[in-house]
Amino acid sequence: MPQAQATTPLRSVVPPARDWYVQEWLLLFFAMGMLVFLYLVAQHEARLQKSEIVRDAAVIEQSIARQLEAQQSFFDRLALDLGAKRLSLQQFDDVAGKRAIESKIVEEVLLVGPDMQTVRHTPATLALDSVLLMRAPFSEQARIHAFTQKTMRGTYSDPYSTTNGRWFIEYATPIFEEQRFAGTVNLLISLDNLLDASLGPALTQSYRAILSTATGGDISQRDPAAVGDGGLSHTVLLSVPWRDMRLTLYGSNPSSLLPNLTLSVAVVALTALMVWTVMGLRTQQRMRREAEAERDRVFRESLASLRQANERFETVLDSLDVAIYVSDLETHEILFCNTRFRETFPGYGVGARIHDIERGFTVDPTEKFPATLLAPGDVASQAVYFDEIEHRASQRWFLMRTRAVNWVDGRVARLTSLGDVTDRVVAERLRKTQEEKLTRTSRLMTVGEMASTLAHEINQPLGAIANYVSGCLRRLRMIGGADEQVLSAMEKADAQVRRAGAIISRVREFVRTREPERRPIDINALVVSVSKLMNSDEAERALTCRLELDPTLGKAFADQIMIEQVLLNLLRNAREAMSHLPQAERVAVVRTRRLDDNLIEVEVSDRGTGIPEQAEQQLFSPFFSTKPEGMGMGLNICRSLIEYHEGNLTFFRNADVGTTFRFTLPFAEDPQ
Ligand code: ADP
């Protein structure tokens, strides 16, 4: 299993909320900036309006003064002309009346006598009684009359209102006839008209203009509908002719914080647009944040489910009893392995080289799957190899199944599973061994039966031969003079017969007991005694045995007679293989040596004809013999006897000539 991936915390894709606060603050600053701007503009406007109203008030004041002065100088001259008689009364009426009408501010021109009596009036649009009602109060008439006479200059009355509520001032200019005061020319000037004429049509629309006395009483006012309350105002003192009269102008625009409607509307609209845009942005951001949060959530969920799936997958793989690994085809690097694998081969994991392990198998799977054979893509068609193989180092058996797979990164890799079948293989082997043991035992039984039968059958004639031979010997000795060679031969025959008898009785004994008698025996001593037997054979059949015995051999745990039989049989075969050689060359070498703590090895090596290749396979088969008289049972019985002792009997060709037969025997652990 690969190392668990470190869990990397997911980076949040949702922008932090503080970004948003920045926008809100910006918006707030912008709105405040706009308000300040509006305020400053309003201030500026107010200043402009103020200076405008001051200017206009001055203009109106000048206009009033100019108009009055114009009328004043005209009628002053008229009074002079009248006094100098340059003007008839009739002419006076015409000129003064015309002038009054043209001036628009002079309602009537009066000719007043020195006794303050009104002599005539012009342009005489009204009756004298009505005109007199428009004059100043009598005291004021007297005052200006006296003042004019005294100063010899024109004089204005205080403003006054008539009974119908109209406001006037009266101007009196003196008439002197040859240094004598001859009355006054009086002008009845309408203050309402004066104000109208001074304002002119443009200013009339812009201002509410009020003429007032020093005590605050309004004299005349012009109040256009467009001008409301609360506007800017400015008051000036009228320079002529009355120092205590004042003119007040009220502006049409109130001095509010809304200086210019268009500008204000534009600013407000701009701010609203900004707010709207920011709100839209905010909505968009919120939607994007929500979408991203959703995507984030889905991503986390799918990641979590992926992790779960991966954990499940790894849990399943790790709980398998089978070792599983994936390895690179070329580098042999382990790309993936489960827990079982790491337990089976400690020290190996992802990144290690699988080759080091696979080389230890009896079959190397890399040979079955050379990298060149596998092309990416069509791995399904790649062969699957499986077999039961042994891992030599651990001596464990595995059922290996290996095949090509497309690995996650696209390359072709090899997926191998190793099921540990050691227990089954061991059980199988045990069963096989037991079966073989049974077969061997039954073979031994068969051999025993055969031996028993043979012993029984041979024993009778052998007994007869022994009797005859010993009878002959006895008779030859009794008679005497017998040929010594014959006697010697007879004695040897007698000895051989006895030996044969002994062998047969041993065989019968073996057969009778059926069970071999295993005990610690000295193999070296056994070899010496058996080889003596061979040496003692007749000269032409004699075999010279050269012994190379291991003095440290120790004892084998075996049945002496059986091992004697085996050795005897091997030596006989050696002698027969060398029968074509002269006697001196008929030499068999018998070697003993200790293999290890458990085994003793005995070798019989000859320089005979050797074993033909075609005979090799059948050598140990029953009844296989190349000899005309041979029974073909010798080697078969020998192998049975050796295997019975848990040893084995093998042979090999000598490097130069002849054959060597070799058998092993178990070492007697407790030699007695
Ligand atoms: P037999 O000796 O009765 O033929 P064996 O079982 O002892 O039966 O031997 C079987 C055959 O093995 C022999 O016939 C012989 O061909 C061959 N053989 C055995 N030992 C040797 C040997 N040392 N050299 C050559 N051939 C041998």
Atom of ligand 1 nearest to the CA of 637: 6
631 alpha carbon to ligand 1 midpoint, in Å? 10
Architecture of domain 66-193: 2-Layer Sandwich (3.30)
Q: Give nearest CA residue, ligand 1 atom 19.
A: 573
480 alpha carbon to ligand 1 midpoint, in Å? 44
Atom of ligand 1 nearest to the CA of 658: 24
> What is the pLDDT, as a whole number, of residue 308?
92
User: Is 611's C-beta closer than 6 angstroms to any atom of ligand 1?
Assistant: yes
Q: How many CB atoms lie within 10 A of CB 279?
A: 11
> What is the pLDDT, as a whole number, of residue 251?
77
630 alpha carbon to ligand 1 midpoint, in Å? 8
> What is the pLDDT, as a whole number, of residue 255?
47
Q: Return the CATH number of the domain spanning residue range 321-420.
A: 3.30.450.20
Map out the domains of the chain as residue ranges: 66-193, 283-319, 321-420, 427-504, 516-666
586-595 confidence digits (pLDDT tens): 999 999 999 8
For residues 601 and 654, what is the distance between their CA atoms, to the nearest angstrom? Answer: 17
634 alpha carbon to ligand 1 midpoint, in Å? 8
Q: Return the CATH number of the domain spanning residue range 427-504.
A: 1.10.287
User: Is 573's C-beta closer than 6 angstroms to any atom of ligand 1?
Assistant: yes
- Spell out, as residue ranges, where the chain has pLDDT lower than 70: 1-23, 216, 223-230, 240-243, 252-260, 368-384, 434-435, 437-449, 506-516, 536-540, 630-631, 670-672
For residues 136 and 141, what is the distance between their CA atoms, to the nearest angstrom? Answer: 6
User: Is 600's C-beta closer than 6 angstroms to any atom of ligand 1?
Assistant: no
> What is the pLDDT, as a whole number, of residue 1?
39
Which of 581, 618, 625, 651 has most ligand 1 atoms within 8 Å of CB, for mutation?
A: 625
> What is the pLDDT, as a whole number, of residue 360?
84
CA 253 from centre of chain: 68
621 alpha carbon to ligand 1 midpoint, in Å? 11
> What is the pLDDT, as a whole number, of residue 575?
92
Q: Give nearest CA residue, ligand 1 atom 13.
A: 625
The sheet with strand 412-420 has its strands ordered as 334-337, 323-328, 412-420, 396-406, 385-391
User: Is 632's C-beta closer than 6 angstroms to any atom of ligand 1?
Assistant: yes
430 alpha carbon to ligand 1 midpoint, in Å? 32
User: Is 660's C-beta closer than 6 angstroms to any atom of ligand 1?
Assistant: no
User: Is 588's C-beta closer than 6 angstroms to any atom of ligand 1?
Assistant: no
For residues 100 and 187, what is the distance between their CA atoms, to the nearest angstrom? Answer: 9
User: Is 626's C-beta closer than 6 angstroms to any atom of ligand 1?
Assistant: yes
Atom of ligand 1 nearest to the CA of 624: 10
Q: Give nearest CA residue, ligand 1 atom 16.
A: 626
388, burial (CB in 10 Å: exposed 0-12, middle 13-18, buried 19+): middle
| CB distance 280 to 286 below 8 Å | no
| CB distance 653 to 505 below 8 Å | no
15 alpha carbon to ligand 1 midpoint, in Å? 98
User: Is 659's C-beta closer than 6 angstroms to any atom of ligand 1?
Assistant: yes
Q: Which tokens sit at 430?
A: 């045990």
For residues 583 and 568, what is the distance between their CA atoms, to the nearest angstrom? Answer: 19
> What is the pLDDT, as a whole number, of residue 172?
94
User: Is 631's C-beta closer than 6 angstroms to any atom of ligand 1?
Assistant: yes
User: Is 654's C-beta closer than 6 angstroms to any atom of ligand 1?
Assistant: no
| CB distance 447 to 638 below 8 Å | no
* Residues contacting 285, CB < 8 A, separation 6+: 15, 20
| CB distance 157 to 136 below 8 Å | yes
User: Is 608's C-beta closer than 6 angstroms to any atom of ligand 1?
Assistant: yes
Which of 586, 606, 635, 650 has most ligand 1 atoms within 8 Å of CB, for mutation?
A: 635
> What is the pLDDT, as a whole number, of residue 536?
59
625 alpha carbon to ligand 1 midpoint, in Å? 6
610 alpha carbon to ligand 1 midpoint, in Å? 10
Q: Give nearest CA residue, ligand 1 atom 3.
A: 630
- Where do the DSSP E strands lie in 238-341? 246-254, 323-328, 334-337
Backbone angles phi, psi at 119, to 5 degrees: -85, -50
User: Is 634's C-beta closer than 6 angstroms to any atom of ligand 1?
Assistant: yes
3-class SS string, 543-576: CEEEEECCCCCCEEEECHHHHHHHHHHHHHHHHH
Q: Which tokens sit at 525?
A: 């001593």
Identify the H or E element spanning 206: helix 191-206
| CB distance 635 to 573 below 8 Å | yes
For residues 567 and 151, what is the distance between their CA atoms, to the nearest angstrom? Answer: 191
Question: In Å, what is the CA distance from 134 to each residue of 75, 92, 154, 540?
Answer: 19, 21, 19, 200
| CB distance 544 to 587 below 8 Å | yes
500 alpha carbon to ligand 1 midpoint, in Å? 22
The length of the chain, given as a count of residues:
672
C-alpha atoms less than 13 angstroms from C-alpha of 266 in its C-beta half-sphere: 7
> What is the pLDDT, as a whole number, of residue 551?
93
DSSP string, 479-513: H----HHHHHHHHHHHHHHHHHHHHHHHHHHHHHH
Q: How many CB atoms lie within 10 A of CB 404?
A: 23
587 alpha carbon to ligand 1 midpoint, in Å? 17
Q: Return the CATH number of the domain spanning residue range 516-666.
A: 3.30.565.10
Instruction: Establish whether domains 321-420 and 516-666 are of one fold.
Output: no
Q: Which tokens sit at 517?
A: 């008698």
User: Is 625's C-beta closer than 6 angstroms to any atom of ligand 1?
Assistant: yes
